[in-house]
Amino acid sequence: MSVEQAPVQRADFDQVMVPNYAPAAFIPVRGAGSRVWDQTGRELIDFAGGIAVNVLGHAHPALVGALTEQANKLWHVSNVFTNEPALRLAHKLIDATFAERAFFCNSGAEANEAAFKLARRVAHDRFGAEKYEIIAALNSFHGRTLFTVNVGGQSKYSDGFGPKITGITHVPYNDLAALKAAISDKTCAVVLEPIQGEGGVLPAELAYLQGARELCDQHNALLVFDEVQTGMGRCGELFAYQHYGVTPDILTSAKSLGGGFPIAAMLTTEELAKHLVVGTHGTTYGGNPLACAVAGAVMDVINTPEVLNGVKAKHDRFKTRLSQIGAKYGLFTEIRGLGLLLGCVLSDAWKGKAKDVFNAAEKEGLMILQAGPDVVRFAPSLVVEDADIDQGLDRFERAVAKLTQA
């Protein structure tokens, strides 16, 4: 029996929610595949993917089935107990990666928090209390907790919350000489995104990641890859480190891992994992049976040659058309990224106006993203149909045409 819900509208947000977000003027209420409908019945094509989360689009039958089945069995027991979906998911992730141990939590920030704590604990146990320094990249993004926002290399997110966490250094991304100058025997970890997502969809150079791996080995530091945005097939491999052939000591995953259901994971080796003994870290909801059941279904769909190879083909389809639009209208100068994480860098005349492009696209029935003020970001479903790609980019071109003619 359904219960009648009280009507709500966008204006309610400003009355009842903390004002740390500025959501769009419409409210999505239903999704199917790469299509979304708002309260008025207007249809939009979704190239935003919930910020690289809805990896299989909306209401994918495999995910709906996994969630429904688990919802009729067991919702939550806490980590006082374990559960079958969590163990199955751990096996799937371990079998598909370098990892030998998994830790489940609820968000990318929590996965990174666990990774940074593990790195410091390993260094403390092996080398003593003075080896705790972390090196990260300028313009990086690792989450919104106090620890992760300080490791992230964007002061606009970390300023104004009291004293900064000490022992964190930031160096320019893709600058191996700067990393070499900063690293020392006090460094416990180097933290990098294989592609800087919020920092502008900027891929790492292969030599940079290879050099970071070598420097970490030389200084007994751990290499941590934040794959919250790049993981789960987003770049055409299950994880971006597999594209580069550079293996980290610790890897974090979230966003696409649950296909829209909140879940995150920290993956590492048995040798490192043993430093988080009982009581050193935890989470009430981490490894929740509902979340793990859905993530297991996500893994089953994504980790196949058909889907991963399809991501690479869809990348080419996006990039070809976006390049044509860029050349025709002079709105952006470069298209970068891997797989279905793409960033269009705005031309000098349009610097700082990514929000204007976002708004113009929405008016044409297209949901996209920004990556800072100068980059328009696309992170659609990995199984977005070619017809949706073509129609969505038609809408994008109409938006760009109106914007450049205004």
Residue 256 phi/psi, 5-degree rounding, is -70, -15
Which pLDDT belongs to residue 171? 98
Known binding-site residues for N(2)-acetyl-L-ornithine equal: 144, 283
Which pLDDT belongs to residue 3? 62
| Contact between 113 and 280 (Cβ < 8 Å) | no
Say if residue 1's pLDDT is above 50. no
Mean pLDDT of the chain: 96
Q: What is the mean pLDDT of residues 152-162?
A: 93
Residue with tokens 């990260």: 136
Burial of 112 (0-12, 13-18, 19+ CB in 10 A): buried
Give the span between the Cα atoms of 29 and 41, in whole angstroms.
9
Nearest to 339 by CA among 300, 393, 381: 381
Task: Kindly list the distances between the CA atom of residue 211 and the CA atoms of 35, 215, 355, in Å, as whole numbers in the listed order.
Answer: 42, 6, 36
26 DSSP 8-state letter: S
Six token digits for residue 392: 């969505």
Q: What is the mean pLDDT of residues 327-336?
A: 93
Which pLDDT belongs to residue 113? 98
Of all residues in the chain, the percent with pLDDT exceeding 90 is: 97
| Contact between 6 and 29 (Cβ < 8 Å) | no
Give the span between the Cα atoms of 192 and 228, in whole angstroms.
11
**pLDDT tens profile 4-16:** 788 999 999 999 9
Say if residue 2's pLDDT is above 60. no
Known binding-site residues equal: 108-109, 141, 144, 226-229, 283-284
Say if residue 406's pLDDT is above 70. no
Burial of 222 (0-12, 13-18, 19+ CB in 10 A): buried
**pLDDT tens profile 349-381:** 999 999 999 999 999 999 999 999 999 999 999
Q: Which amino acid is at 96?
A: A
Of all residues in the chain, the percent with pLDDT exceeding 70 is: 99
Q: What angle do CA 300, 245, 201 make, to 5 degrees?
A: 80
| Contact between 201 and 52 (Cβ < 8 Å) | no
Q: What is the mean pLDDT of residues 283-295?
A: 97
Say if residue 39's pLDDT is above 50. yes
Which pLDDT belongs to residue 201? 95
**pLDDT tens profile 96-144:** 999 999 999 999 999 999 999 999 999 999 999 999 999 999 999 999 9
Nearest to 263 by CA among 394, 84, 86: 86
Give the span between the Cα atoms of 62 and 351, in whole angstroms.
41
Say if residue 25's pLDDT is above 60. yes
**pLDDT tens profile 226-262:** 999 999 999 999 999 999 999 999 999 999 999 999 9
Give the span between the Cα atoms of 372 and 343, in whole angstroms.
10
Sequence-distant (6+) residues with CB within 8 A of 243 are 194, 235, 236, 237, 338
**pLDDT tens profile 47-79:** 999 999 999 999 999 999 999 999 999 999 999
**Count of helices and strands (H, E) across the chain:** 15, 17
Residue 84 phi/psi, 5-degree rounding, is -65, -45
Beta bridge partners of 373: none
Task: Kindly list the distances between the CA atom of residue 238 and the CA atoms of 195, 211, 230, in Å, as whole numbers in the listed order.
Answer: 14, 23, 9
Known binding-site residues for pyridoxal 5'-phosphate equal: 108-109, 141, 226-229, 284
Dihedral angle of Cα 181, 186, 188, 193, to the nearest 10 degrees: -20
Q: What is the mean pLDDT of residues 184-209?
A: 96
